[in-house]
Amino acid sequence: MFKKFDEKESISGVQQLKSSVQKGIRNKLIEQFPLLETYLDTILPKKDTFRLVKCHDHVEIIVHSSGELLFFRHREGPWMPTLRLLHKYPFFLPWEQVDKGAIRFVLSGANIMCPGLTSPGAIMTPVEKGTIVAVMAEGKQHALAVGTTALSTDDIAKVNKGIGIENVHYLNDGLWQMKAVK
């Protein structure tokens, strides 16, 4: 999604959100990520205003008043954290760990295949299909990608073929490279 994402070409507009819209987004984030509830006032303070950056290809990004990119979504889909936010709060998404052999492919934007999640170096947290997950790497401390599961972890283990996690945002992609939006 963010492979060829360029700040100058991709951003079509920035709008400040009304407090009622902000409240709706905060409630949706708490519903989506229950573990984040105690930290949400730090990430998105109630009294602070945040903005919505509209991009081409129906991508929306929530930006803090400091310019920090926090969450994004495609079309009217679920909100997903940016990797920078996930590195600060790594606990609120389930982890799926890939083996060392998959790292370079994930960092080039490839989807995570089932064999990369079932090999000896990989670890899977049980989740359902369509869950937003942090993709970790064997031997690394921080997440290298955010994705959505294409199959439940039970099915990934049974089938062991095809795409297991769709890679949405990864280290060094266009969203990672994007500067703070003032």
Asked if the model's pLDDT at residue 4 lies above 70, the reply is no
SS (H, E, C) 16-35: ECCHHHHHHHHHHHHHHCHH
**Residue among 158, 114, 153 nearest 133 (CA):** 153
CB 128 within 8 A of CB 152: yes
Can you list the domains of the chain with their CATH numbers?
11-88 (3.10.400.20), 95-170 (3.10.400.20)
CB 169 within 8 A of CB 86: no
Residue-wise pLDDT tens digits, 119-174: 998 999 999 999 999 999 988 899 999 999 999 999 999 999 999 999 999 998 88
Asked if the model's pLDDT at residue 6 lies above 70, the reply is no
What's the CA gap between 165 and 133, in Å, rounded? Answer: 8
Residue-wise pLDDT tens digits, 65-122: 888 899 999 888 899 999 999 999 999 899 999 999 899 999 999 999 999 999 998 9
Residue-wise pLDDT tens digits, 16-56: 988 899 999 999 999 999 989 899 989 988 888 889 999 88
Helix (H, G, I), strand (E, B) or coil at 86: helix
Q: What is the DSSP letter of 148?
A: E
